[in-house]
Structure formats: structure tokens, C-alpha cells
Chain A
Amino acid sequence: MEHIRTTKVEQVKLLDRFSTSNKSLTGTLYLTATHLLFIESSQRETWILHHHIAAVEKLPLTTSGCPLVIQCKNFRIVHFVVPRERDCHDIYNSLLQLSRTAQYDELYAFSYNPKQNSSEQVKGWQLIDLAEEYKRMGVPNANWQLSDANRDYKICETYPKELYVPRTASKPIIVGSSKFRSKGRFPVLSYYHKDKEAAICRCSQPLSGFSARCLEDEHMLQAISKANPSNRFMYVMDTRPKLNAMANRAAGKGYENEDNYSNIRFQFVGIENIHVMRSSLQKLLEVSGTKGLSVNDFLSGLENSGWLRHIKAVLDAAVFLVKAIAVESASVLVHCSDGWDRTSQVCSLGALLLDSYYRTIKGFMVLIEKDWISFGHKFSDRCCQLDGDPKEISPVFTQFLESVWNLTEQFPQGFEYNEAFLLQIHEHVHSCQFGNFLGNCQKEREELKFKEKTYSLWPFLLQEQKKYQNPLYNPDFSPELTLLEPNTVSFNFKFWRNMYHQFDRSMHPRQSVLDLIMNMSEQNKQMEKDIKELEAKIKRKNSQSDAVLVKEPLQSAPPAPMALKTSPCFKKEQPLMPVNDSVRTIEGSNTADNRYSEFMEEFSKAEPAVVSLEYGMARMTC
């Protein structure tokens, strides 16, 4: 590729991110068209996708070489020292070019070839079918219908084609309402709760200014509340802080005036905007990336960043929404400004709390496809897939994943998926390796023919779903439509170490309970399978031999893994699945992995006497 001038640099040092000394690993750095690759002398490889690179920084030259710091969108930070400045400069420039893509078709997804044929590719894209999902929810029905108003993306460019609206909302109402809503994003169905007959609807802010009204929009809201036979009142949730919403009135936008809409209860829930969230994450990363951080600096930094406050605000909003539906059977209309950031967060989390389907692996994929991808969360802008306006970048989707993680911590048996699943999705939202998250809305994706040129992430995740299964998941814990009632007291929100320090291995527990349990249940499953095969084998053998003897060996064939030890043929014929012992090993049992090995170095520096212990007592002064 034209951007790559140097493809290989030897004798590059990789510094430990948190080391206070200059501990490092030496290896070779390779630059490929898609990845930056570092191979240590011990052959351990570190792959960094160019699209994952958020920032590259060249630090001032030191005696050991030219430092190059790379920050990734998956929160990996690597610190290289390149011996020669020219090499460093070349790599720096190449990475700058490679990490900034100007056009979609230069993204990795367009060159990534997972060796699928075209029918597999098509099938992959069909895995998640939103029409099927609405059917599962119970729509269309007597009160809700599919509208073709947006068939050609004429009414709203950023909405999908298929939209569900109340039956009583005629086309003129829809059109009128959409003209009164920012970016034409009129109220549509996001989730329908069939037991309560209540709906979560979503839209953007009304163009009400200080006094404007729109009869069609008022009719639209009335249609939504009428579509709910259980409760005629509906909530309108403005997820913004009241001040922000009021400021928008000056720009001809704003929020619903309760006097103009009948039967609504209006509520602000105060989630901050994308700019506040961006700088909050920035502050959080600054704190967590500090070397030699004290507990107090960490906690005060965590507080000052406001990050956990924002996560709590998002989850609190979802809890408010869920209460309206579950307790009052009231429908809720959710909006923010444009209705694609905070609205997506609150609607999807609300549905996740209401409906246990979204707590399964497949259901979570559906939820993301529905409330995030199809309703036009601007993944491309928010994740900076193409070189664009840095002010559009914001960790809105990361916050959603973190909220879900918080729920999985509170309900360890409530989710079919584990943390690794959330981290993997986060990884691919930024990797641009699959087509799902590319672009800002469905219209764009169709025009650029992503489904023909790229692959869908979901089949790949499903294929390796063993890795993402929560071994403690108990489907009986939450039968269909079981409500989760999280406790959003402040102390329940914790810093997500596995997200923000995913690649800083020394910081994590040295032994993982989850991995162990996963291996165990995997093993048990494997053995149960083996038993079935053996039983079948025995059956076959017996049917071949004397029919009279059939009964006895069958009885001796153990029906449950408990009895395995009594089956001698088992061990001979079928080697046990190897126990993955890596989960039992202790990664940091070597102090070199640990940062307090620097205690020694630290006091060596401060008190040179220790260093010179062997050289006699001359310098043993302090």
C-alpha cells in the first residue's frame, strides 16, 4: 500500500504501560495493510488493527530511541520505543494515514474474507430478521400495524423502511408529525409488551420552539395512547436535562407542552449529551492510565470524570421507563434531541429489563440490530469509522454495554451471555471488520450495498458462542417477560476493569472462576454427549449380536455422568476432553508480571544503599 514505507523494524521495545521503571520486551514490529504486528522475542504476538487506532503520538527522543504511543478504541494502549528516529517517523506517518479512512470501501470489512460462499454470506445477513422479532413481540395486532410510509426513506432518511405505528395513525398524521419532529423522526414503536399491552415508542424532539403546535403530532401521540387499552395515560420521557431541552427551544426545537397534548405525563430524566460523555470518558481514561496511581487519586478521578454518574443516569432512566410499563401498564414515548443516542440507550435497556429474550445471546443481537442499527444510531460518526468530525465521536454504545454489564453483575444467573460477549461486540463495533456497524443508517447501508460486499458479525459470534455463554445462566430464573428490577444505588456501580484494562493483564484476578466453571460445564456436556454415543454404540453392537443379550449391557451403560467411573470402555475408546488447565494456572505468579516488583527498584533508586549492598558498606548511608 502506498502509505507503508517501512514494513519491518527490529529491536523495538514494548514498554509496560504502568511500569515506573523502564521494564520492556524486545521484538520486531511489522506493518501490514490492515494490522500492526509486534512479535516478541518469546514469539508472543500483539496484533493491532489499524481501525482500532484512535491516536498515535510520537514522544520526544530519548537515549534508548524514539517512543511511539498508540491508543486504541478498545482501550489498549501500547508504548513502543523504536531505535531509529527515521523508522519511528515512517511508522508514525503510515499509521496516521492507515488509521484514518476516507471512504467506506477502504475499511477492513471490504477486504476481510472469512472464506464464506455467497449463499452463506446471504444466510448470515438473514440470521437476524426484525420482522420476525416484531412478530415475536406480538405486532402487528389489533392496535398496531406495519406502515409503509417510509418505504423509500422519503419521510425519514435515518429510520428503517419497516416501521410500526398505531392503526389509528393515518398517513397524513404520520407525515404531519414527521414534519414537526427533528430530522423527521416521528414517534414509532420500539417495543411492544404483550402482557401489559403497553408500548415503548421512540422519536426525536418536537420542533415546538416557544409556542409552535402541530395537530398531526398531537394526534400521533393520542393514537399511541389509544393503542393501549390498559392505560389511556402515556408518559413522554425527554431523556435530556431540562436545561438542555429549554435551550433547544430557542433554536425552534424543544419539548412537548403538556397543555397541548391530552393524557400525557411529561418527564425529564437528565442524561447528558454526547459531548459531555466524550469528555467524561476522556477524563476516565486519563485517570485509569496514570502510572503509580493512588487509591485516592483513582477514586477522586473516577468521581471527577462523572463516568459512573452517567452510567447510573442511563440505567435510572431505563428503570423509570420499565416501571411505567410494568407497574402502570402505561405506554412510554422516549426522545432526546435527534432520538438516536440517549433514546437508543433507554429504549434498548428498558426492553432488556422487561423481556428476558434480550438476555439471551440471539436476543441481544436482535436488540442491537433493532434499537441501534436499524433506528440509525450513527455508528460511523460516533466510533469515527471514517475520518470525520471529532465532535461527533461519543461512547454512547459503550455506555449501553457497560449498563448491561452492570446488570449482569447484579443478576449473575439472568443472562445467557457473559462479559466476553459484551467485550467482543465492543471490539467489533470499532474494528470495521464486519458490515453490521458500518455507516450511520439503513439507507446509507443499502446504497453502499454493504450486505453484498461485507459479512455479518452475528453468525461468527454464534459459531463460537461457547465462549460467550454464561455457565451460570438459568433460563428458569427468568421465564418469558420476567422483569429485572435492578438496584441502582450508587455503590452498585463499579469501574469496569475488564473493559478499560482489558489488555493490562497484571491487573486482573490471576485465576478466573468463570473460565473454570465454563470448562467444567463444557466438560460435563461433552461427557454426556460421549455417554449418548457410547450408548448408541452399545445398542448397535448388541443389535448385531445376540438379541437376548441386549438388555443387560444397556443397563450397565450409565445414564448420567455420575456413573462414568464404572464404565471402563469409556476411558479406552474415548479420551476425555482435555481439561483446560490454563484456567488453573496463575498468570502473575511471576513477580516480573507484577508491578510491585518495582518496590525493589523503587527503593533502590530512592535509597542507593540497597543497590550497593554487595559492594560493601561504604555507601550504606542514608
Chain B
Amino acid sequence: MEFAELIKTATVESVLLSGAGLPPVRGTLCITSHHLLLSSRPGGDGAPGTVELWLLIRNVDAVEKRVQNLGWYQPPRTNSSQRDTRLAGSSGTITLRCKDLKVLQLEIPGMEECLNVASSIEALSSVDSVMMMYPFFYRPQDLRLEAGWHLFPLEQYYQQIATQTSQWRLSGVNRDFAACPTYPPAVIVPAAVDDEALRKAARFRQGGRFPVLSYYHQKNGTVMLRSSQPLTGPNRKRCREDELLLGTVLDEGERGFIIDTRSAQAAKQARMTGGGTEPKSSYPRWKRLHRPLERGRPLQESFIKLVDACNDTSLTMDRWLSRLESCRWLSHVKAALSTACLAAQCLDREEACVLVHGAEGTDTTLLVTALAQLILDPGCRTLAGFQGLLEREWIEQAGHPFHLRCARSAYSHARLKQEAPLFLLFLDCVWQLGRQFPFSLEFGERLLLTLFDNAYASSYGTFLGNNEKERCLCKVKESTHSLWAWLNQPEEKRKYLNPLYSRNALVIWPSVEPQSIQLWQGLFFRWIRSSKYLDEAWAEIQRLVENDDTSVEESAGNRRSQSLSDTAAQTENER
């Protein structure tokens, strides 16, 4: 396929671009294989153009066109040039609704051009082949292709655990993706279970996702595992190896918790289609807890409804609140945070091991395991630690199907396939944690917004594909740049840091009362309301803190961290 075939009109002159919060600009629109460009020429035709728009076409979620045939309409003759008169016959408006929730409008003179532009954008934005995506073509000068791809090897994570205990081993059972197509080649499993048993256990779990270690809680040596549902089916099949695997996790006399992210009812029903849950009789030492979390289509619809409500600024208070309620987004946020807290509490307070799974084990499961780690482990709350967490619990090690889940955002009219904003829900929960503990995360809101944008449309290969196997096939690591390499450049990195950060070794238990859960305005209203005053205030905070840091660094800075650990010890003692 050639991109050129999809582009019916490559350039159009005198296009008027407008979007919420921006003054409209007129310029030349240009369509390339991956981008939509608009450049204005303020100094007349001879002057070099200023680029006003540089939009990744992959970012376009929906294209709406409206054409008018204005044959009868005489444009007012002001200082219009000849060209304007020629085009006076017809015009069209294209509304581009983007995956990052931005809405742009292009007024294009000439009906035909308008239709051509619209269909070109539509065709280019729905190219679905991973290999045709922009990251495979993007070659920034100051980045090396290999940089950022191997920052967080699982081996390194395993080494940390190995210094504490010998109960776990790194297994290469999935070296060729044979045991589980969505797992990476290396996984951490109980040392007592051999690869053959793992292969058998994999056959007993949906998609081969046998229980693997997700998190080792250094404080007390408990672990969090994740998997997919067991394939018990209607006949209550059992698998000795699976039972053995989970059995060896627990020491003599210990009990563990299985957090199933489906309702008891749904888990039971899953048996009819070959799935199911761990029955008590076969897993006597594991206690099952059901905490239903929404996923799939209902979650996507919740997202669509919320964005719809946010975009309607004419709503009365009652209508707004009722639409905020009926979209249920904040309920999902609360449920995700509560379940993560439950998992964290089992590990930290009950000192019990936890297995988390839903059905496939690639969606709500990851939501819970990733959030629980952020709550428990200060290491995950640094900028680098958070990137590592994302690689371990969403991307490389966990196989969240980004390509399917983030194919479309909230505006698309296309029939939904497997889209669901689980990653966005995760980012929202992280934002809530950041609101409640403003000094405990090393990164700020800006990083979360960037991650959201890049998960849906990116110049980088990090979120491409659905799992490691697909990324290997497409040679993503060899042929695209890593988002982390770009983010971690010193100048870039600065923008994502939280100036108020001060390392906090404690567990951060958030409040999950409805009064404490807020709508993430920075994301959902990013393009709708002006955040000028809020941004200025934030810049002022930054200035104050930096000022303070340079002046008091030596004396107070030390003292600050010191007494924080003092209070930490104190709180520990109070228990």
C-alpha cells in the first residue's frame, strides 16, 4: 500500500483553522502520509510560513464534514483577491475530533477540496497496520534508535528480589512465546515449579496466562501474583500443576487472597464458556474475594458519555451533575482505587499473598496490580520507577493490548471493537493519588497527559502492538524510538517532574470517599476551558519552590527529609 494513493488532495490554500481557545488562523493545509499541517504566511506569499498545526493523523478519532453550496451567495467585496471570488461558489467545514479529546475545525474553500481532504484524513487515520504507523518512519536527529528500550529489564527486577529470597526464579519457559503469547520471554515464578509444570498450568489458564509474580513486598516478603482465569469450565476441571504452583507460593499454614475483578455471578457464568474461578475445594488455602470492575464496552461507553457531557458547556447544573452521575466514570475510578487498596491492604496489613485476575488478565487485573504497587512501593513513585512500573505492569511484561484498546477514543463513530480506556482509568487513578499526596509522586500531571496522548497516537513505538510477541514480530525495538528515551532527555524530563516531590517511604493510603474523588479537569477540560490562571498559579508554586530549594537547600532540605523519616518511624510506632 502506498500512502500517496490515500491522499486525494495534498495541499489546499486559504484554509481557516479554528479550535476552542485559539484565535482562528488562515493558511495552507498540507496532508502528508502521517501529518496534517497548516502553515500561515503572515508576511504575504513570499514570507516563510509559520506552522500553526502539526497534527499526527493517527490522532484523529472522527472526521465530520459539512459542505454548503453557496452558488447564490455573493461574498462581501472587501480586499478579497481574485482567488476568493473564484472559490465563492462553495465551501465546507471539516471538524476533526482527536483522540486526545481536542476538537479542531477547518474551513475549506471549495466543496470538492473539502470532501477530498476529509476522505484522505479518514483513510489515513484508519490505517490499522502496525508497521505503517508513524513511529516506523520517525527519525529524530538527537535520539538513538536503541535508546530507552532496555531501561527496565525484568532481570534487574528479579535481582532485587533474589537478594531477599530464593523462593523465586526467572523462567525462560516462554522464550518463544509458546506457553503464553501475551507474556514476555522471561517471567518470575516460584523456584519450586519447573518449566514443564508451568506449561501445563498455562494450558489451564485463559490465553496461557499462568500465575506469575507481579510484585514482591520487601517489607514482609509477601507477593502479588497475576494471571488470567482458570479454565475450569462447566465440568469443574482441575489442574494439578496450577494448584501446585499456587500452593508453593504459600508457606506452611499461610493463607492467601484471590482478588477476582469480576462479580461472583459473572465468574460463575464464565464457567459456561470454559472459564471460571478457583474452587475452594481445589485451592483450600486461597480465599476468593470478588470486586467487580468495569471493563470493555461499558467502560468505553462511560468514557464517551463523560466526554460528551464535558463538551456541552451549556448544561444546567442539574443536567451536568446528572450526566456526570449517569456516565459512572467516577464510580469506576473509586472502584479501581478501592480494589487496589484492598490488594495493598492484604499484602501490607494482613501480610498475605495475593493473586489478582479477572477474565483475560490483561485489563482490570493490571489496573489493580499497578495501582497497588504505586500505593505500596515508594520506588514506583519516582519518574524512572513509574516508567518501570508501566513496562512491568502494562506494556512489556504484562501485555495490555494497547493496539486494540486504544484504537479509538471517545469521539469515534466507528463500530466499537475492543476499545476500552483502561489505561486512561489507571492514569486517572494515579492523578487522584497525586492530588491526595501532592509531594509523594516525583512526576506531575503533565506526564500523565503525555502518556494518555501517546497511548492513543504517538511518534514513538512504546505503546505499539498488543504484546511483546507482536512487538518482536514487527521489530518495534529495532525500528522505532522509545518514548522513554525522549522523555528522559534532561530538558524534556524537567517538564514532567513535580517540584514539590519529597521522597516518602510510607504507604500512601488514599481516601476513596466520593467527596474525595474528583473529576480530572486537566484532562477532560484540557481543550474546553482556559487554564491560564491555574497554569500561572502552578508556575508561581514552581518558582517559589525552586527559590526555596536554592536558598534553603543545605540547611532545611536535609532537615526536611530527616524529620520526614522521623515522623515515618513515629507513625510506624503508633500502630
Contact = CB atoms under 8 A, between A and B. Distances in A.
Given A579-B560, A592-B575, A596-B509, A586 B437 contact: yes
Contact of B437 (A487, A510, A600): A510
How many interface residues does chain A have, given as a range? 35 or more
A590 B321 CA distance: 33
A293 B512 CA distance: 10
Contacts of A492: 529
A254 to B, nearest CB: 27
B342 interface: yes
Nearest to B286: A620
Nearest to A527: B551
Given A299-B325, A596-B345, A294 B331 contact: yes
B289 A18 contact: no
Interface in B504-559: 504, 506-519, 521, 525, 529-530, 533-534, 536-537, 540-541, 544-545, 547-548, 550-556, 559
A603 B289 contact: yes
Interface stretch (B310-318, B397-405, B463-471): B310-318
Contacts of A294: 331, 334, 514
B571 A497 contact: no
Contacts of B318: 303, 306, 309
Given A303-B325, A490-B316, A622-B280, A413 B540 contact: yes
Given A507-B516, A596-B509, A620-B280, A472 B287 contact: no
A295 B517 contact: yes
Interface string A337-357: 000000000000000000000
B176 interface: no
Given A294-B331, A599-B341, A609-B287, A594 B544 contact: no
A517 B544 contact: yes
Interface string B405-442: 00000000000000000000000000000011111100
A305 to B, nearest CB: 10
Interface in A565-607: 565, 571, 576, 579, 581, 584-586, 588-597, 599-600, 603, 607
Contacts of A517: 541, 544-545
Contact of B341 (A414, A507, A596): A596
B514 A412 contact: no
B317 A308 contact: yes
A412 B540 CA distance: 10
Contacts of A309: 316-318
Interface in A458-488: 471-472, 474, 487
A111 interface: no
Given A295-B330, A581-B560, A472 B280 contact: no
Given A576-B555, A600-B349, A620 B509 contact: no
B341 A561 contact: no
Contacts of B514: 293-295, 297-299
Contacts of A507: 511, 513, 515-516
Given A299-B325, A584-B560, A589 B571 contact: yes
B560 A489 contact: no
A524 B547 contact: yes
A472 B537 CA distance: 7
A17 to B, nearest CB: 11
A474 B544 CA distance: 13
Given A298-B515, A576-B555, A600 B564 contact: no
A487 B330 contact: no
A500 to B, nearest CB: 8
B64 to A, nearest CB: 23
B338 interface: yes
B517 A586 contact: no
Interface string B285-317: 001110000000000000000000010010111
Contact of A520 (B255, B315, B545): B545
Q: Which of B437, B513, B516, B548 has the most A CB atoms < 10 Å from its CB? A: B513
A493 interface: yes
B280 A581 contact: no
A306 B320 CA distance: 12
B500 interface: yes
Contacts of A508: 511, 516
A510 B436 contact: yes
Interface in A294-337: 294-300, 302-303, 306, 308-309, 312
Contacts of B530: 487
A414 B534 CA distance: 11
B328 interface: yes
Nearest to A484: B533
A513 B441 CA distance: 13
A509 B441 CA distance: 13
B439 A613 contact: no
A279 to B, nearest CB: 16
A170 B334 CA distance: 64
Interface string B358-394: 0000000000000000000000000000000000000
Contacts of A472: 537, 540-541
B322 interface: yes
B574 interface: yes
Contact of B548 (A474, A524, A565, A613): A524
B574 A591 contact: no
A501 B551 CA distance: 37
Given A581-B564, A621-B280, A489 B533 contact: no
Q: Which of A490, A524, A603, A621 has the most B CB atoms < 10 Å from its CB? A: A490
Nearest to B333: A295
Q: Which of B255, B288, B518, B530 has the most A CB atoms < 10 Å from its CB? A: B255
Given A489-B529, A571-B555, A584-B564, A599 B345 contact: yes
A497 B536 CA distance: 24
Contacts of A413: 533, 536-537, 540
Given A18-B513, A472-B540, A565-B554, A596 B547 contact: no
B47 to A, nearest CB: 36
A501 B515 contact: yes
Contacts of A509: 435-438
Given A303-B322, A492-B529, A617-B284, A511 B440 contact: yes
Contacts of A495: 515
B563 to A, nearest CB: 4
Q: Which of B338, B437, B519, B553 has the most A CB atoms < 10 Å from its CB? A: B437
A264 B514 CA distance: 47
Interface in A378-430: 410-414
Given A303-B321, A564-B551, A596-B345, A620 B284 contact: yes
A596 B508 contact: no
A113 interface: no
A610 interface: yes
Contacts of A561: 547, 551
Contacts of A599: 338, 341-342, 345
Contacts of B349: 591, 597, 600
Contacts of B508: 510, 586, 589
Contact of B350 (A308, A565, A600): A600
When A and B form their complex, which 7 residue pairs have the shortest distance between CB atoms, in order from nearest? A298-B514, A412-B537, A299-B325, A490-B320, A303-B321, A309-B317, A561-B551
16 contacts: A295-B334, A299-B321, A303-B317, A412-B536, A490-B315, A491-B525, A507-B513, A523-B552, A581-B564, A586-B504, A591-B509, A599-B338, A599-B342, A600-B349, A609-B287, A613-B287
Interface of B: 255, 280, 284, 287-289, 310, 313, 315-322, 324-325, 328, 330-331, 333-334, 338, 341-342, 345, 349-350, 435-440, 500, 502, 504, 506-519, 521, 525, 529-530, 533-534, 536-537, 540-541, 544-545, 547-548, 550-556, 559-560, 563-564, 567-568, 571, 574-575
Given A497-B515, A527-B551, A576-B556, 17 more contacts: A288-B515, A295-B334, A487-B529, A489-B529, A500-B515, A509-B438, A520-B548, A564-B551, A565-B553, A584-B439, A584-B502, A584-B567, A585-B564, A589-B509, A596-B512, A610-B287, A613-B255
